[in-house]
Amino acid sequence: MSIRPGTETLGQIPGTDVFCDTNQYPMASKTPGVVIIRVKSALLCFANANIIKERIMAWINEEAAADTKGNAEMTVQLVILDTSSLMDIDTSGIASLLELHKNLSSHGIQLSIVNPRWQVIHKLRLVNFVSEIGGRVFLTVGEAVDAADLDAKKATIIRS
């Protein structure tokens, strides 16, 4: 286990449902309005939780800074956190996720969790984190992206 866990931004390989590291696969395209982050650590704990939270907020700030033209389509509206590598989470990790959600919500950004293991989702449910994020827990990144597209289409229909 590393105290400085790896994190990576994910993008979709064109023409597929595959999402992978954008540094390793430069042809992977980012989804407009969505930042997809994979945590590459077996444990989200007191030793690494703040590092991960700060890295995520830095990516959000980078995306916002890149949006200098005011293009609403590119504004970050959703962060998808791929937790498939997480085997467990402690109270510090949970507190960090709650704080991340609070920070994102204050900027109008939603949070989704993807592919959590039983131990992780069980603990997140015990502290009502799943309810806090509106039940946005998915098995795959593709499902989370599709759900975001549906939410965006519903919002457009309601505004029309």
Q: Is the pLDDT of residue 156 over 70?
A: no
Q: How high is the mean pLDDT of the chain? A: 87
- Tokens 């984190």 belong to 129
pLDDT of residue 151: 63
- Which region among 52-56, 81-85, 142-146 has the lowest average model confidence (pLDDT)? 52-56
CA 101 to CA 107: how far, in whole Å? 10
Checking if the pLDDT of 111 tops 70, the result is yes
Query: Over 60: is that where the pLDDT of 2 sits?
Result: no
- φ, ψ of residue 29 to 5 degrees: the values are -100, 145
pLDDT band of 61, cuts 50, 70, 90: confident
C-alpha 47/C-alpha 40 separation (Å) is: 14
Domains and CATH numbers, the chain: 6-159 (3.30.750.24)
Whole-model pTM: value is: 0.86
Task: Say which residues have a Cβ less than 8 Å from residue 53's Cβ, sequence separation at least 6.
Answer: 96, 97, 99, 100
Q: How far apart are CA 149 and CA 153, in angstroms?
A: 6
State yes or no: pLDDT of 70 exceeds 60.
no
Average pLDDT of the residues in 77-89: 95
- Note the pLDDT of residue 157: 45
